[in-house]
Amino acid sequence: MLTNERHQSNRKERDETITNQRKNSYRNSRLNSTQNKADQMRKAVVKKENLKIIPLGGLEEIGKNITVFEYGNEIVLVDCGLEFPEDDMLGVDLVIPDITYLERNKEKIKGLVITHGHEDHIGAIPYILKQINLPIYATKLTAALIKNKLEEHNLEKTTKIHIVEQGKTVHFGKIKVEFIRSNHSIPDSVMLAIHTPVGVVLHTGDFKIDYTPIDDKVIDLGRIAELGNKGILALLSDSTNSERKGFTMSESSVGEVFDKLFLNNTKRIVVATFASNVHRVQQIVNSAIKYGRKIAVCGRSMMNMIDAAIELGYINVPTNTFIDIDNIKNYRDDQLVIITTGSQGEAMSALTRMANGEHKKVTITPNDMVIISATPIPGNEKLVSKVIDELMKIGATVIYSSLEDIHVSGHACQEEQKLILTLAKPKYFMPVHGEYRQLIAHAETAKKVGIEPQNIFIMSNGRTLELNENEAKITTSVPNGKILVDGLGIGDVGNIVLRDRQHLSQDGLIVIVMTMDNSTGEIVSGPDVVSRGFVYVRESENLMEEVKRVAREEVRRCEENHIRDWATIKSNVKDTLKDYIFERTKRNPMLLPIIMEV
């Protein structure tokens, strides 16, 4: 009996234990289910936020670089550059990006991050700051160049510039930007690792891979590889040299060529290069010191750059090496080097004025060797060729890229682009900084190293790329375009004004002035004809008289048809004269009828 009771008691305890375990299991299952649903809901909320990448400039063009990175209520801008006007932009000084989208969303903008100090990446900053005040983050030399620009525009007191060391990270909120040491044709260049909740985007800026840079600061390939191993969501990479095979030569290779040209040279040496190429200037300085020459500097931008670079320690030079340009007459030719701007044949540059015999301080003679340490930017070939010809006519020895390797590019060629693609291992790829053919060539290189074609995005300015961990797609477009700067006017020169300037430059202007009776519509005085850029009036009196006759006849016809509206009369006179002048001359001058009433 006791045994049976014990068995029954044990069975009851087991049943209760099993029941409690089942209840606990059910309760835990419910809790886990609730937790999973909560996690799924949180993930669903996160998935609603995509990272938006919006280039407002720099695609299908060289210059005007500016890119928007937008996540939720945060916008971080990368670069803010200008573009130099094309040949058909008559009278225009600069071209800057359209920032309508930024003005509409200025409360979201956390800051402007700069990759390096070239004009196509910092040149538009003063103009943008006049519309939107925002903090700027840049490395030391880049910050100094920006500060100089802001002082010229009286903006230095209203704008905060933060100096960021290479290797450091700036926290904006959900977006963090890491500065990664890079190489380019200007010191302090960086790539940017943009950390967002959906992944890391690597923006290369302008770069090359230089294993022997002048300042010994090699590109941080290790950090790029580290980020690549962790997983890079998207890569935006410089496409300037994407059509060129192989590697870009090291900047240090130019120094050897300078030494060869300086050796046993009894001539005065004039070197033209980009003002921003501080490493090139350092190598010119090194050769000048080695061969006992003093250095004079021509060109305001070159002077400003060298002063800033020396002050910040980017150019190392003994004291008393530089002399004032006014003192060059106190030295023999074999004791002098002149560093100047004008390597692109710009009309008002120092080298062009020297070539034309118009420079007030420097007169070129047959005992000068002129070294043009640059290659012509596409479109400038004729200007550079003309300067070379003029210098040679004077008798100077001219050394340029076709004769010696006195210039290397600051942009990566295909093999360097492959290396960055391989190290970064991005899920998505977007070629930037290049004309359309260069973007296509870079996309082809990406395919060769294993990037899936459907994950490569050839973008255009204003298009929005939205992406997250799982997908990327091109969605909307935002306002974009070119804002033209002419003198003090920003944006007041548009397509219509440019078309009129083009018309005037090609065919000239004819102004027809006449005074008419307000009540009768009869011509009281005139018409008088003024011609500019069309024909010389004295040599074409018959044509001008015919123009007056045709204008009078058209006014008479209007009078006969009881037309009293001045606008209609002007339009009829203009149309009739246009047909007549084209029939007589096969030209289409701009016609401007002016009617004064009495």
Catalytic residues: 238, 411
Give the residue among 218, 160, 221 at the shortest CA–CA distance from 419. Answer: 221
Give the residue among 245, 242, 208 at the shortest CA–CA distance from 116. Answer: 208
What does the alpha-carbon distance between residue 16 and residue 210 come to, in Å, rounded to a whole number?
Answer: 76
Containing 551, the helix (H) or strand (E) segment is: helix 541-560
**Contact call for residues 277 and 185 (beta carbons, < 8 A):** yes
**What are the helix and strand counts (H, E) for the chain?**
16, 25
Q: Which residues contact 37 (CB under 8 A, 6 or more apart)?
A: none
3-state SS assignment for residue 28: helix
Residues pairing with 54 in the sheet: 68
The pair of structure tokens assigned to 438 is 């260069």
Give the residue among 231, 155, 239, 240 at the shortest CA–CA distance from 198. Answer: 231
Give the residue among 372, 332, 329, 326 at the shortest CA–CA distance from 352. Answer: 372
Q: Which residues contact 341 (CB under 8 A, 6 or more apart)?
A: 272, 275, 298, 299, 301, 302, 349, 350, 351
User: How far is residue 145 CA from its own chain's centroid?
Assistant: 15
What does the alpha-carbon distance between residue 314 and residue 58 come to, in Å, rounded to a whole number?
Answer: 28
CA distances from 91 to 98, 503, 511 (A): 19, 13, 22
CA distances from 346 to 84, 359, 368 (A): 12, 14, 21
**Torsional class of 247: left (φ above 0), alpha (ψ -120 to 50), beta (otherwise):** beta
What does the alpha-carbon distance between residue 432 and residue 440 come to, in Å, rounded to a whole number?
Answer: 10
What does the alpha-carbon distance between residue 195 and residue 230 come to, in Å, rounded to a whole number?
Answer: 12
268-272 and 368-372 strand pairing: parallel
The pair of structure tokens assigned to 154 is 């009286």
Give the chain's radius of gyration (CA, Å). 34
